[in-house]
Amino acid sequence: MRATIISTLVVAAFSAGICAFSLSLIDHVSSEIDVMRAEVVALADDGRVEEARLRLKQTAEMWLRHERQLAVLVSHETLHEITGLIVEGDANLTAGDLDDFTRSMALLGEAIGRLGRDERLTLSNLL
């Protein structure tokens, strides 16, 4: 019985650790990326396209760094969607197509929000 209690406590501690790490990492990454996305959009809206491109490049680099960690925790489809939207936004900005760029950034905002929302411990997620 003692072995069962100990192994249960170990598994519970492991699970709690994974849950806490996952929540904290996803929350941290999604809020950080979203702030950078908002900055890119603001720069583009001000007509500072080159600065917006530079910031988007930094956003992409930051995202790729975290993507490897997130791949252990989150479904890969969501991660690929976010990567695709960053690449799409960059291509639109380079082509000077601001309407499509705005659309890509809006979709990126939604995808990042969903990443955090899907992991949050809410009744709607549970049910």
Partner 1 sequence: MPTIFIRAVLLYFILMLSMRGMGKRQLGQFQPYEFVMAMLIANLIATPMSNVSTPLLHGVLPVAALYIVHALITLLCLRSDRLRAFISGKPSLIISKGVVRQEELKRLCLTLSDLLEGLRGAGYLDPAEVGTAVMEANGVITAFPRSDRRPVSVGEMSMDAGYEGMPMTLIMDGRLQQHNLQCARLDKTWLESKLAGRSLCVEDVFLCSIDTQGRMTIQDRGGNLSQFQALDAKEVGW
Q: Which two tokens stand for residue 17?
A: 């650790």
Number of residues that bind partner 1 (CB under 8 A): 27
CA distance 47 to 27: 31
Residue of 38, 64, 72, 87 interacting with partner 1 (CB under 8 A): 72
The 75-104 site mask, x for binding partner 1 (CB under 8 A), equals xxx---------------------------
Choose between 90 and 119: whose C-beta lies nearer to partner 1. Answer: 119
Is residue 28 a contact residue for partner 1 (CB under 8 A)? no
According to the binding rule CB under 8 A, does residue 71 interact with partner 1? yes
Among 12, 38, 87, 91, binds partner 1 (CB under 8 A): 12
CA–CA dist 9, 121 (Å, integer): 22
Q: Which two tokens stand for residue 71?
A: 């791949």
The residue among 26, 86, 18, 78 whose CA lies nearest residue 56 is 86
Distances (CA, A) of 50 to 32, 37, 75, 97, 101: 21, 15, 33, 13, 14
Residues that bind partner 1 (CB under 8 A): 1, 4-5, 7-8, 11-12, 14-15, 18-19, 22-23, 71-77, 118-122, 125-126
